[in-house]
Amino acid sequence: MSIHFVSRFLSSSFRAKNPRFSFTTLAITNPAEKYWVHLERNDPYIEKTLTRFGAKLDSSCVKEVIKRCSSTNQSHISGLRFFIWAGIQRDYRHSSYMYNIACKLFKINQNPNVIRDVIEAYNLYNCVVNVKSFKIVLNLCKEARLADEALWVLKKMNEFNCRPDTTVYNVVIRLFCEKGRMDEALSLMEEMSLVSLYPDMVTFVSMVKGFCDLGRIEDASRLFKVVNQEGCSPNVVAYSVLLDGVCRVGNLEKGLNLLQEMENEGGVCAPTVVTYTTMIRNFCEKGRSTEALTILDRMEACGCAPNRVTISTLINGLCQEDMVEEAYKVIDRLADKGSVSKSECYSSLVVTLLRVDKFEEGEKVFRRMLVSALKPDGVACSEFLKRLCLKEKRVLDAFVLYNEIEKLEFATCIDSEIYSIMMDGLCTEGHLLEALKLVKLMVQKGIQLKAPYVQNVVEYLKNAGEMELVSHIYKMNDG
């Protein structure tokens, strides 16, 4: 598929985008300040003079400089050129976090033309730009999910005598795959052979995932033949992506065949815990949890230990199908083998039982855990106490259970919002003594009363004449 581009040149007003700023000549020791003052000079050859500074360059310095540049539209181009220059320095590399910050500060999603403006600035001032510089620009496109701009940058590289490599093509191909524009992605992959490049496993995985996301499973499957023809054998990642796509369209039997193929291949194709969990999840989502148990058998037979996600997925599927007893059997079976603790297993069971509206059973499990000194995790504690307060209207029971959890010394895992829900409930039901105890605990732990509950709680306490308690609330929220 041919892609048509319309060339866009900077007008004479480009220089007006970067007006001169006044700057101080006083001695400056802060590295970010040094770079900022230099950028204010509006030197068209920023990169050459920046290198002479020798000022310390780290993520905090880069963040401070681009933050200042982003505060005015006139400095966006200079700020991005600084960001690109910084990224190619020997002792510094941008993290994914920094790319995210740059995209947000310069609003690249809303103003994608800034990418083109930077490249045109390099062209206008005859700047020497290398492949690393273009890769940083492409990573900005990747972070902002700009497929068309990334393709434009790729085509521009030849004008600067920079030869794109496989990594460059992979970034652009992945962006088109994520957009669902598979015909254009396929054209780019075919184009690689014309410039003596060869797709690697990253290329194929992106393409397979892209086809699978669109439900084009046959196209994704055909790619596997291409992979072998190119001498690049599929690995577990490629297989897992295809397997997930096959299952998502409902063809679980074909998914099982793929799983078998992976098990037979072994080596780099051997299924991982993620692969098996994907299969289990898909069977459970289709209401076939009993068959999902056979996947667990295969998993263990291959020496692959299930993790917390595997067990939670199975428990959820079984409980959704009203097979709670089977869920207990799975927990006993797996907890004994030690790959996941009993506390984790039963915590997952509590959360699942609450979500499938089997509250009585969930409460039984939760209380049994406390008696057995098994620590429910933060999600289980928070979900259960919240349900007791809001839906069951048993706030006093929730407070009593909270105290038991406190004695076992794992109350720190409870969501801070639960304290506010309990406080509001205790005041509403007139349990002021318990409310006072809870307030003191919240002050001691530094937990503030959440905004939606402050007004109600304070009003209840004032009406009850508990001004001392009110003062505790104000102290807590001011501190």
- Residue 19: the pLDDT is 42
Residue 24 has pLDDT above 70, yes or no: no
Residue-wise pLDDT tens digits, 437-460: 888 888 888 888 888 888 888 888
Q: What pLDDT, in 10s, does the model give residues 149-169?
A: 999 999 999 999 999 999 999
Residue 248 confidence (pLDDT) above 50: yes
- pLDDT of 6: 25
DSSP state of 95: -
- Of 113, 145, 163, the residue at which a domain comes to its end is 163
pLDDT of residue 28: 55
For the record, the structure tokens of 82 come out as 């600084």
Q: What is the pLDDT of residue 31?
A: 84
Is residue 453 within 8 Å of residue 418, measured between CB atoms? Answer: no
**Which tens digit of pLDDT belongs to each residue from 201-210?**
899 999 999 9
Region class of 161: left (phi > 0), else alpha (psi between -120 and 50), else beta = left
Least confident of 72-81, 130-139, 233-242, 406-415: 406-415
Question: What is residue 395's predicted lDDT score, i.e. its pLDDT?
Answer: 95
Q: Does pLDDT of 12 surpass 60? A: no
Q: Which domain, by its residues, includes 453? A: 420-479
Helix (H/G/I), strand (E/B), else coil: 367: helix
> Over the stretch 97-125, which tens digit does the pLDDT of each residue have?
999 999 999 999 999 999 999 999 999 98
Tell me the C-alpha distance between 405 and 64, whole Å: 44
Q: Is residue 141 part of a domain?
A: yes
Residue 198 included in any domain:
no
- pTM listed for this prediction: 0.76
pLDDT computed for residue 5 by the predictor: 26
Give the domain-ending residue among 163, 181, 203. Answer: 163
Domain boundary residue among 124, 141, 163? 163
Binning pLDDT at 50, 70 and 90, where does residue 7 land? Answer: very low
Calpha distance 156→255 (Å, rounded): 42
Instruction: Give the pLDDT band (50/70/90) at residue 29.
Output: low
Is 214 domain-assigned?
no
Q: Residues 374-390: what's their mean pLDDT?
A: 92
- Give a yes or no: residue 286 inside a domain: no
> What's residue 137's pLDDT?
97
Does a structural domain hold residue 98? yes
Per mean pLDDT, which range of 182-186, 388-392, 464-468 is the poorest? 464-468
Chain centroid to Cα 199, Å, comes to 27
Name the domain count of the chain. 2
Residue 13 has pLDDT above 50, yes or no: no
Looking up tokens 């001498």 gives 231
pLDDT cut 90: percent of the chain above it: 59
Q: Say if 436 falls within a structural domain.
A: yes
Question: Is residue 177 predicted with pLDDT exceeding 90?
Answer: yes
Residue whose structure tokens are 């500060």: 105
Residue 304 belongs to some domain of the structure: no
| pLDDT for 398 beyond 70 | yes
> Is 355 among the domain residues?
no
Between the two ends of the chain, the Cα-to-Cα distance in Å is 63
Which comes out higher in pLDDT, residue 191 or 461? 191
Average pLDDT over the chain, rounded to an integer: 87
d(CA 348, CA 346): 5
For the chain, give the percent of residues with pLDDT over 70. Answer: 92
Least Cα distance to 232 among 258, 273, 197 occurs for 197
Measure the CA–CA gap between 476 and 479, rounded to whole angstroms: 5
